[in-house]
Every structure is written in C-alpha cells, then in structure tokens.
Amino acid sequence: MTTDATQTTDATQTTDTAATGTTAQATPTQAGDAGGQALLRLENVHTYYGHIHALKGISLTVGRQEIVTLIGSNGAGKTTTLKTISGLLRARVGSVVFDGDDISTVSAHELVARGIGHAPEGRRIFSRLTVLENLQMGGFTRNSSEIREDLGRVMELFPRLKERQHQKGGTLSGGEQQMLAIGRALMSRPRVLLLDEPSLGLAPILVQQIFSIIAEINQQGTTILLVEQNALQALKVANRGYVLQTGNIILADTAANLAANEQVRQAYLGEI
C-alpha cells in the first residue's frame, strides 16, 4: 500500500489509551487529544440550519490512523458534524482544523483535494452512471494514472464492484451501493474518510462485511471518522467514540469503555 509517509507514524494510538483513565462523565473530555498532532480537530463548533441551532459547541479530535465513531440517536447532529467537516455546511462559530490548517472556510471541493473524503448518508451514488464511472468520478481531483492505480486498489478491496463495473449504479443491491459509495470516496485517496451510516438499511450479514472492510481500510493507513446508529458494531471496530445528544457531546471515551458504560448500554445498545 502506498500511503502518505506521515500517516505511518503512529503517534496518537498510544496517547488515546492513556486517556482511558478518565471515568465516563457527562462532561466532554478531550480523550486522545494529541495537541497539534491530531489530524482533525473541531473546536467549539456551532452549526445552524437557518435559525435551528444544530451543533451546540462540538469539540472533538481524530488522531492519525484512528477509527473514531460518533454515536447518538436521530437528530443528535452526527450527520451535521460530518457535513461541517467536509465543507458542505459552514460552522457559524468555532473552527475545524485539519492537519494544522483551519479549514472552516475552505469549500467542499477543495477539501476533497486536500484529503477529506466523505461518503454521504444514504450512499448517494450516481445511479445512472456505471460502477466504473462512479469510481472514476470519485477520482475527480486526481490524474488519470493515479485513477488507474486506485481503481485497481478499490476493486481489490471490493471484488463485487469489479464484477459489476459495467452495470449502472442504480441496479446494484443496497450493500453493493454502500460498497460503491465507500469505494468512490476512497478514489480521492483521502487522509481522513468520513463515513455516514454505512450500515443503513443493510442485512446483518452485510453489516458485518462492511465493518470488516472499514477495519481493513483503516489498517491500510486511512483515518476514519464513522457515524453510526448501529452503536454496537461501531464501538467494536473503533478506537474511540463520542456520544452526541441534541447537538452536544455528552460522553467521550475509548470504544471499549463506552461499550461497557451503563448509560450507553441502556440508551444505545438496546439493554434495559
């Protein structure tokens, strides 16, 4: 795998385990904050839809090569957070810092070139273009030899997409469309991949498959910020997690601690 040399240095993996000592409190803790070394950092981000105050001061960090998950119920602000990071929405207050640069005012298409890949909620593949064309579109910011190389890489990761490369995107099954959405986002060779509910509407067997691919993508060197309603699966694959509720982060801890947390188990893991 050819990845950025910077990504191979694994500085934050160790620091986040150090932060596990913080007991799960209702106060947001900057778990895993590696200072300036974090790949992605949100500081007191407030995002609005018109008058609706959707994010009420979100602060979080994603270290290099981590998998960080955002869990929470409907309307908590998970998707809004991702859209604010990828530039589809603007934070009215606060800043988004990517690799040391403030990107709060950088437009969405430039962020793709800078290394933020976003697989939006509901897949949103180009249903009337072929699978191959969808993937090529994902490599829009890259040159043709890079696209050729990455096509091979993505199709190795998703053999199903290779089989179906000449088929229209809309004719794929739900799981395959999700693979296509992830594959398309990978075509821009992102340094951080934002995944918005990759398990949405998939059969349990496919959910397993998607999550193992997410782990594989991460092992190949891509940092992942994962938004999920399927908290159990998300916490299994993630290093750390944040729990969102009505636009606030109410919990931040390692994935293992969150999965063991009584509150989380009751609210999000379906235990009564």
Partner 1 sequence: MTIQDDAERRDLSSGDRMPGGLAPVRGFFEAHRSISVIVGMALVGLALPLVVMLPPFSTFQAGAAWMNNFTLAGVYILLALGLNIVVGLAGLLDLGYAAFFAIGSYTYAFGASPFSGLHIPFWPMLLIGALMAAIFGVLLGAPTLRLRGDYLAIVTLGFGEIVPIVFKNSDTYTRGTNGISSLYPPDLLGYRFSTIEILPFYIVMLLLVTLAMILIYRLQESRLGRSWMAIREDELAAASNGINTVTTKLLAFALGASTAGLAGVFSSAKLTFTGPDQFLFTVSFTVLAMVVLGGMGNIWGVALGAFILYMIQSVLLKGLNQFFDAVPVPILSDIDFVQYQFLLYGLALVSMMLLRPEGLFPSKRRRRELHTAAPGDDAAATPAQEAGGALQ
Q: Kindly state whether residue 185 participates in binding partner 1, applying the rule CB under 8 A.
A: yes
Angle at 104 between CA 38 and CA 183, to 5 degrees: 70
Using CB atoms within 10 Å of the CB of residue 133, give its burial: 0 to 12 exposed, 13 to 18 middle, 19+ buried: middle
Stretch that binds partner 1, among 14-22, 34-42, 63-71, 151-159 (CB under 8 A): 151-159
Binding pattern to partner 1, positions 56-95, x when CB under 8 A?
A: ------------------------------x-x-------
Q: What is the DSSP letter of 130?
A: B
Q: Kindly state whether residue 48 participates in binding partner 1, applying the rule CB under 8 A.
A: no
Tell me which residue of 186, 185, 213 sits closest to 199, measured CA to CA. Answer: 213
Strand arrangement, sheet containing 91-98: 52-62, 40-49, 91-98, 101-102
β-partners of residue 228 are: 71
One residue of 127, 220, 245, 246 binding partner 1 per CB under 8 A: 127
Q: Kindly state whether residue 106 participates in binding partner 1, applying the rule CB under 8 A.
A: no
Summarize as ranges the residues that interact with partner 1 (CB under 8 A). Answer: 86, 88, 107-109, 112-113, 118-120, 124-129, 132-133, 136-138, 140-141, 144, 147-148, 151-152, 155, 159-160, 162-163, 165-168, 170-171, 173, 175-176, 184-185, 188, 203, 205-206, 209
